[in-house]
Amino acid sequence: MSCYKYWGKLEEIANKLSEYGDLESDHSKIDDVDIDEIIEILDEVEIIAHDKTIDFDSAKHILDDEKMNKALKLIRKFYVYTGARLERENAMKILESENPTETLDSFHFYDRYIGLIENESQLAKFNEDKTFVFLGSGPLPLTLIMFNKVFGCKCIGIEIQEDVAELSRKVLKRLGLENNIEIVVGDENAIEKLDYDILMIAAFAEPKDRVFSNVWKYVDEKTPVLYRTYTGMRAILYSPVLETDTRGFHKEVMMLPSGKTNNTSVLIRKII
């Protein structure tokens, strides 16, 4: 089915979002808006993103079109903003909760993470003898929490913002996981001083060309490197990892998302 039927709808959604102001210059206006109001608009984007009748080649017509570029840039900014805000808000609720585990389970995207972890557990051997490093762990390190709980592996998160790292440490302590999961402040270069068996790069780790280039410098050829990206129509939600970003790596396996999960998970290894 043609993807062109969505062009007008995507522009309409972008116009709705633009009424909340410029995310780059000032968050104050949108920070006061009920997050459910933004989610309701972005849910319209998700319906389009999950349209199985649009194949990858057709999706590229939207993703590569200059006319759609402005609308997609704005939609992607709000998608990132909403995800980060939901994580931070849930993190704060956990700190104040009498039942922090129950509060964690109520996170808006919790069910999607279950499907994501199931996919990724097929790409590498996670177990209690492995150390797993996640680059770009964020304020609510749910990926690390779930891999530790399900597979028992030791987990290390790398977070570039010190205040975000500190918030995630408080969350882990509140959940009783501070001895199982460590949070390190830094960018991708932090892996040089870490010992680990499996490395994963978050979908929002930027800039991607620099991140993958530096990871290539420090990782060895045997270590499985996983990354999350967006493929097909789901790439309207966020810019995908490009083949030029992963130069020097061999792509071994790609796991496409199912259900409401948005991330495609990919296994790569360094080549010399």
Number of domains in the chain: 2
Q: What is the pLDDT of residue 92?
A: 97
190 shares a domain with 251:
yes
Question: Which of 79, 103, 127 is the C-terminal boundary of a domain?
Answer: 103
Q: What is the pLDDT of residue 175?
A: 97
Tell me the pLDDT band of 159, cut-offs 50, 70 and 90: very high
Q: What is the pLDDT of residue 26?
A: 66
Q: What is the pLDDT of residue 22?
A: 79
Edge-first strand order for the sheet with 181-185 is 181-185, 154-159, 131-135, 198-201, 225-229, 264-270, 249-255
Structural domain of 13 = 3-103
Q: State the chain's mean pLDDT as an integer.
A: 94
Question: Which of 53, 79, 103 is the C-terminal boundary of a domain?
Answer: 103
Q: What is the pLDDT of residues 177-207, one digit of tens each?
A: 999 999 999 999 999 999 999 999 999 999 9
255 shares a domain with 227:
yes
Q: What is the pLDDT of residue 28?
A: 67
CA distance 92 to 170: 9
Question: Which of 103, 118, 149 is the C-terminal boundary of a domain?
Answer: 103
97 shares a domain with 41:
yes
Straight-line distance from the first to the last Cα atom of the chain, in angstroms, rounded to the nearest whole number: 42
Tell me the pLDDT band of 5, cut-offs 50, 70 and 90: confident
133 shares a domain with 93:
no
CA distance 229 to 227: 7
pLDDT above 70: percentage of residues in the chain: 97
130 shares a domain with 93:
no
229 shares a domain with 184:
yes
In DSSP notation, 124-178 reads S---TT-EEEEE---SS-HHHHHHHHHH--EEEEEES-HHHHHHHHHHHHHTT-T
246 shares a domain with 114:
yes
- Please compute the mean of the pLDDT values over residues 6-33 and round it to a whole number: 86
181 shares a domain with 118:
yes
Q: What is the pLDDT of residue 139?
A: 97
- Please compute the mean of the pLDDT values over residues 230-247 and round it to a whole number: 95
Of 21-35, 42-56, 110-124, 238-252, the least confident: 21-35
250 shares a domain with 149:
yes
The pTM is what?
Answer: 0.94
CATH number, domain containing residue 54: 3.40.50.150
